[in-house]
């Protein structure tokens, strides 16, 4: 089977996953969303990440990187393995929230990667994906994702507190 060309891959990476018609906007709001692993949780994550670039399959991202001469699946795996990005699994595919890339290199400065370093040892990829888009008590109900650009110190403090709560 032939792989889609760069233009098709770009469209695939940007194509939103639409929720079922019977879901309402209130159902998709992060504070009401069920981010548990499964179909409903995946749709909720898609909706929650839509404004920040969405989510993309690792294979599509790796093909796109290769087409631009910026790496391949090994490069992407190395970024994830080195803690410079995180991923989660759904239906036998690995998915990445695109807010981590700008456009394909890690977009996070070292200070923001510390947030990931705090949480990665205690949360799996799916839990990390949910943590960034769920309102956080330590952030007065705001989503960590929304504060990364201007309030990384607050997000880091929230991550440390959550890690402490999880580990005891």
Instruction: Please state the separation of Cα 1 from the chain's center in Å.
Output: 29
Of the chain, the end-to-end C-alpha distance in Å amounts to 50
Residue 3 has pLDDT above 50, yes or no: no
Residue 57 has pLDDT above 60, yes or no: yes
Residue 114 has pLDDT above 50, yes or no: yes
Percent of the chain beyond pLDDT 70? Answer: 74
Residue 26 has pLDDT above 50, yes or no: no
CA 138/CA 60 separation, integer angstroms: 35
Angle value at C-alpha 153, between 150 and 158, nearest 5 degrees: 115
Give residue 34's region: left, alpha or beta (phi > 0; psi -120 to 50): beta
- Mean predicted lDDT score pLDDT of the chain: 79
DSSP readout, 95-157?
Answer: EEEGGGBSSSSB---HHHHHHHHHHTTTS-HHHHHHHHHS--GGGTT--HHHHTTT-HHHHHH
Structure-model confidence comparison of residues 84 and 142, the more confident one:
142
Q: Are the C-beta atoms of 87 and 58 separated by less than 8 Å? A: yes
| Weakest-pLDDT range from 106-110, 148-152, 153-157 | 106-110
| Weakest-pLDDT range from 22-26, 76-80, 97-101, 129-133 | 22-26
Give me the pLDDT at residue 71, please: 80
Q: Where are the domains of the chain?
A: 6-167
Q: Give the three-state DSSP class for 34.
A: coil
Structure-model confidence comparison of residues 5 and 45, the more confident one:
45
Give me the pLDDT at residue 21, please: 44
CA 147/CA 161 separation, integer angstroms: 16
Structure-model confidence comparison of residues 93 and 151, the more confident one:
93
């Amino acid at each position: 089977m032939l792989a889609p060309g760069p233009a098709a891959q770009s469209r695939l990476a940007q194509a939103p996953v639409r929720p079922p018609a019977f879901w309402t906007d209130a159902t998709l709001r992060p504070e009401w969303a069920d981010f548990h692993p499964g179909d409903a949780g995946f749709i909720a994550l898609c909706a929650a990440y839509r404004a920040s670039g969405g989510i993309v399959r690792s294979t599509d991202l790796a093909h796109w990187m290769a087409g631009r001469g910026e790496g391949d699946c090994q490069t992407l795996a190395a970024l994830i393995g080195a803690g410079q990005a995180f991923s989660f699994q759904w239906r036998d595919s690995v998915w990445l929230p695109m807010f981590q890339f700008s456009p394909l290199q890690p977009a996070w400065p070292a200070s923001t990667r510390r947030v990931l370093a705090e949480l990665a040892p205690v949360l799996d990829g799916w839990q990390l994906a949910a943590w960034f888009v769920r309102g956080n008590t330590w952030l007065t109900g705001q989503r960590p994702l929304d504060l990364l650009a201007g309030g990384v110190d607050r997000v880091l403090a929230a991550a440390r507190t959550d890690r402490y709560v999880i580990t005891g």
